[in-house]
Amino acid sequence: MKNVDFEVKLPSFVDRIVYVDNYGARPYCYTIEDASRNADAINRAINYISEKGGGTVVIPDGIWFTAPIEIKSDVELRIEKNAILKFSKDIDQYPLIITNYEGQECIRAKSPITAENAINIGITGGGVIDGSGDMWRPVKQFKITDRQWEALMKKSQYIIDTKGGGVWMPTESSFKGNEHNIQLDAENALEKASEYYDFYRPVMVSLRHCKRILLDGVTFKNSPAWNIHPFFCKNLTVRNVTVSNPYYAQNGDGIDVESCKKVHIHNCTFETGDDAICLKSGKNAVARQIEGPCEDVYIHDCLVNEGHGGFVIGSEMSRGIKNVLVENCTFLGTDVGVRIKSALGRGGVVENINVKNIKLLVYTIMGLLAGLGGALQVSIYASAMPDMQQGGEMDVIAACVIGGVSMSGGRGTVLGALLGSLILATIAKALPLIPFFDQLWLNTIKGVIILVVVVVNIVLQRTADKNALKGREM
């Protein structure tokens, strides 16, 4: 990797191959019992290869319906072309565990694919991993068509009413789980929450404290929450993969790299319901008790067809994020191209971030209002702002270099985007304290600020276009 000053080591595997059907797995069988049998066969094959010193476990051509599996050290799980690893959903197969999600310890269901403290592992091949996320995820009514909403209502009648419209819940247990919202601070939390297991949607691929990992050639799709979540990993390579979720997939991120070191992501395609390529490092004071910045990351030659952000930092950034190069990527139809987001109180330092040679098209009004016509957004969540008198800490966003960005939309500066976000966040926090304040005031003032931002971006865009035209004429 000539453009960065660090090396990401790849795993290597012994020439030893086993096929899961030789261990009792059967394709095209779709009952819960079949899923349990196939998971048992796949896990026995993985354990055998790992105990023998390493090799490859092959999922051959076919549709393989399975419960959760766990990858062990020195194992390459190869999903061959025309093979689909399709995950089940059942309360007995997805027990609740305490894990880390959205920057902090919390209750989640067991992930379909897990690797923990594993060294020298891979998920490769030309096949598909389908997490059956459509059986787990809520759906917001405003994100889909009337016909799609009617189809969902035939599957489940459980709806949460919100100011933004209805939220469809796939099951009674997920609906009641949202109502009770049992978290770790409750007594006997896991036991009490187990009845509502599918409210606690898991990430599809959970890689925790692993070293030398290769994800290569596979399609990861239809995840219950995030698709891929490497957590405190080192020497991670993600190449030639496709990561796919519907545009309305709640929390349907592509890959969320959290507190990892030496990461190489390249030649990948993302189409997601949330952020596509995201770097994180824990949330709030509890995260800062453990050292672990996300650092030494090289991302290049990736295509993002859809997503909230093409390349995103945060919002969980409390351990810091540094030494990142993103280049030669194309973002099509994202709300924002490059997004740095957090909240006052999370206390993160973001430094030495270089983004260059990005081609960007933004189709949404949200992108236009993002601060730089969709190219860059620096945002601070007003809803998460702490009371500074109670010891809240402010984020620091420092030494960021954004250059060589080619885009459709306006132009501006990192400082302008940050100041705009700070102004909006401050207004949202301060105005409710005014005696005569109401929501109409807030919306009106926000609208005026956004209008000014849009006008400035249009002027900057036209000025830049004129200068570029003059340069070509000369």
pLDDT digits 0-9 by tens, 174-194: 999 999 999 999 999 999 999
What residue spans of 57-167 are helical by DSSP H? 146-155
pLDDT tens per residue, range 382-440: 444 443 333 334 444 444 444 444 443 334 444 444 445 555 555 555 555 555 555 56
Query: What average pLDDT score do residues 137-157 get?
Result: 97
pLDDT digits (tens, 9 = 90+) for 349-392: 888 889 999 888 765 544 444 444 456 666 655 444 443 333 33
Tell me which of 372 and 27 has the higher pLDDT: 27
Q: pLDDT above 70 covers what percent of the chain?
A: 75
Comparison of pLDDT for 93 and 435, the residue scoring more: 93
The stretch 6-19 carries a mean pLDDT of: 98
- Backbone torsion region of residue 369, taken as left when φ is above 0, otherwise alpha when ψ lies between -120 and 50, otherwise beta: alpha
Q: What pLDDT, on a 0 to 100 scale, did the predictor assign at position 286?
A: 85
Average pLDDT of 256-276?
97
pLDDT at site 428? 54
pLDDT for the residue 386: 42
Q: If you average pLDDT over residues 10-19, what whole number do you get? A: 98
Report the pLDDT value the prediction gives residue 395, as an integer from 0 to 100: 42
Q: For residue 381, report the phi and psi dihedrals to the nearest 5 degrees.
A: -70, 120
Return the higher-pLDDT residue of 344 and 156: 156
pTM of the model: 0.85
pLDDT of residue 343: 72
Based on its alpha-carbon atoms, the radius of gyration of the chain, rounded to whole angstroms, reads 23
Using alpha carbons, list the distances in angstroms from residue 457 to 114, 225, 367.
45, 35, 12
Residue showing tokens 């030893």: 16
Residue 378 has a pLDDT of 61
Average pLDDT value for the chain: 85
pLDDT at 45 over 70: yes
CB atoms within 10 A of CB 431: 15
H helices, E strands: number in the chain: 8, 33
Contact 375, 340 (CB under 8 A): no
Q: Which is nearest to 360 in space by CA: 400, 410, 324?
A: 410
At 285-309, the pLDDT tens digits run 888 888 999 999 999 999 999 899 9
Asked if residue 309 lies in contact with residue 338, where contact means CB atoms within 8 angstroms, the answer is yes
Query: What is the rounded CA–CA span in Å between residue 47 and residue 245?
Result: 31
Q: Is 324 helix (H, G, I), strand (E, B) or coil?
A: strand
Question: Would you place residue 334 in the very low, low, confident or very high pLDDT band (cuts 50, 70, 90)?
Answer: confident
88 pLDDT band (50/70/90 cuts)? very high
Given the structure tokens 């007995």, which residue do they identify?
92
What are the tens digits of pLDDT across the range 61-70? Answer: 999 999 999 9
Residues 195-241: tens digit of each pLDDT: 999 999 999 999 999 999 999 999 999 999 999 999 999 999 999 99
Asked which of 247-251, 256-260, 357-361, 396-400 is least confident by mean pLDDT, the reply is 396-400
- The reported pLDDT for the residue numbered 350 is 86
Residue 284: its pLDDT value, please?
84
Which pLDDT score, from 0 to 100, does residue 409 have? 37
Q: What per-residue confidence (pLDDT) applies to 470?
A: 56
| Confidence at residue 423, expressed as pLDDT on a 0 to 100 scale | 53
158-177 CB burial, b ≥16 within 10 A, e <16: bbeeeeeebbbbbbebbbeb
